[in-house]
Amino acid sequence: MQYSVEEIKQYAAEEDVKFIRMAFCDAAGRQKNIAIMPEELDRAFRYGIAIDGSAIPGFGGEVHSDLLLRPDPSTLCVLPWRPEHGRVVRMFCAVTQPDGTVIGADARSLLKKTVEDAKKAGLTFAFGTEMEFYLFRLDEDGEPTKIPYDRAGYMDIAPADKGENVRREVCLTLERMGIRPESSHHEEGPGQNEIDFRYADPVTAADNAVTFRAAVDTVAARNGLYADFGPKPLADKAGNGMHINFSAVSEDKRDVMPQVLAGVLAHVEAMTAFLNPTEESYRRFGSWKAPGYLSWSAENRSQLIRVPAAEGEYRRAELRSPDPLCNPYLAFALLIHAGLDGIKKNLPLPEAADINFFTAPESVKSKFRTLPGTLFAAKVAAAESRFLAELLPEALLRSYTKILL
C-alpha cells in the first residue's frame, strides 16, 4: 500500500512508534539498517539518511563513501517482535549518491528497473520462494552448535517434529507483517524446516524473502535456537535450498514459458555465482535432490528446472539450484533478464530429460552439461559472460567476481 509522508507521520504518532528502521541489503543480500526517530521522517523523505558506504560490502571505498538511504513508503510495516509500547517499524530504502543517483550495488533498485523493462516488453513476471533452514541447539555460552533441534524426517509430526511451534510462530509473525505464507512443514534433514510463500510481484517477493530470513532468525533466537540457512550445514544430510518458483505472462496471451525456460538454461551457468554465492553452496549440488545438471522436466525433482503438475494461475516453473544465501533481488533480476533474452532470441527449449539423475548411469548423465562444481568455476563463468556484462552494473559484477580481478 502506498502511504504519503503525512500518513506515515500520523501513523507513527497514533501508534506510539518510536523507531523507524531504514532497511537495505548489501551486495550479498544481507539485510542492514539504521534506526531513526519519528522526528527525522521529514528529513528522510526529503533528503535521505546518510550512511558510510565504505563500511558496507560491495558499496565502494572511502573516496566516495557518503551515501543516502531514501525510504520506500509502500514497504512500511511493524516489527512484531519488538515491544508494543514504543513500537518499531521498518521501511526498505533505495541507496543513492548525494545527487540522487542510485548506486550500482543496490540490487533492489536494479530489480525494480528490471520489472519495468519487462513491462515495456509486454511481460509480467511473478515469483514465490520455498526456503529451507535448520534449527540447531545452542551451547551453554549461547553459541550455535551443529546439534539439530530434533531427529524428525520429511513431513513428520509432533512430538518427533519439535520445530512445529517455531514454524507456527514464524508464520503468525509474518502474517502480522502483511506477508502470507502458503505452507510449512518439517523437511528431510534432522531439525530441517521449510516455509513456502504464495506468488507475488518480483520486488514484493524479494522483500518477503529478506523479511522471512530476519523473522526466522529472530523467532529462533527467542526460542533458544539458532537458524542456519547455509546451503550444507551438515555434510551427510540434506542441504538447504531456496527453490524459486516463477511464471511469465505475456499481455498478448502468447505462451512464452518455453522461451523463458530456454533463456534460463542458456545463462544459468553464468548466473550460478549469484544464485549460489559461497564455497559451501557447491557441496550441496548433486545429492539429496539438489540438482547438478543443466536439464528440465515435468514433475522431476532430480532436474535443475522442474515444471510442477499445475494448471491455470498455479502454472509455473521451479528452479531448484539457488540456496538461501543468495541475494533474492539480484536472483530475480537475473532470471527475468534471462527469460527476456530467451523470448527476444526465440531460443528453442531443449528436449525434456525424463530421467532420474541420482540413479542414472554415467553414460546417460555425461550427455548433459553440469552446473559449475566450485565457486571459482562459477565466478569464471560469470566473468566471461557477455550477457552479465551487458546488464549488471560494474559494482555488482565486480563484487561477485573480485577474486579473479
Q: Are residues 252 and 301 in the same domain?
A: yes
In the listed set 103, 130, 162, which residue is the last one of a domain according to the structure?
A: 103
Q: Which residues of 265-291 are buried (b: 16+ CB within 10 A; e: fewer)?
A: bbbbbbbbbbbbbbebbbbbbbeebbb
pLDDT of residue 358: 85
- Domain hosting 122: range is 112-404
Q: Are residues 177 and 28 in the same domain?
A: no
Q: Are residues 369 and 392 in the same domain?
A: yes
CATH number of the domain bearing residue 117: 3.30.590.10
Q: Are residues 96 and 229 in the same domain?
A: no
Q: Are residues 128 and 45 in the same domain?
A: no
Q: Coil, helix or strand for 390?
A: helix
In the listed set 103, 130, 146, which residue is the last one of a domain according to the structure?
A: 103
pLDDT of residue 61: 65
pLDDT of residue 249: 94
Contacts of 35 (CB under 8 A, 6+ apart): 19, 20, 21, 22, 88
Diameter of the chain by CA atoms?
A: 68
CATH number of the domain bearing residue 13: 3.10.20.70
Q: Are residues 56 and 150 in the same domain?
A: no
Q: Are residues 99 and 173 in the same domain?
A: no
pLDDT of residue 313: 57
- Shortest CA distance to 255 belongs to which of 315, 205, 338? 315
- Shortest CA distance to 188 belongs to which of 216, 150, 221? 150
pLDDT of residue 85: 85
pLDDT of residue 404: 44
- Are 150 and 190 in contact by the 8 Å Cβ rule? The answer is yes
Q: Coil, helix or strand for 84?
A: coil
- Are 211 and 263 in contact by the 8 Å Cβ rule? The answer is no
pLDDT of residue 74: 92
In the listed set 85, 103, 121, which residue is the last one of a domain according to the structure?
A: 103
Q: Are residues 368 and 313 in the same domain?
A: yes
Q: Are residues 99 and 128 in the same domain?
A: no
Name the domain count of the chain.
Answer: 2
Q: Are residues 326 and 193 in the same domain?
A: yes
Cell numbers linked to 302: 532430480
Cell numbers linked to 93: 530504502
pLDDT means over runs of 10, the chain (405 residues)? 81 92 95 96 95 89 79 94 90 96 95 97 96 97 97 96 97 94 96 94 97 97 97 96 96 93 97 96 90 88 84 79 97 98 96 88 90 96 96 89 61
Q: How many CA atoms lie within 13 A of 325 on its CB side?
A: 19
pLDDT of residue 312: 61
Contacts of 254 (CB under 8 A, 6+ apart): none
pLDDT of residue 3: 77
Q: Are residues 119 and 99 in the same domain?
A: no
Q: Are residues 238 and 339 in the same domain?
A: yes
pLDDT of residue 289: 84
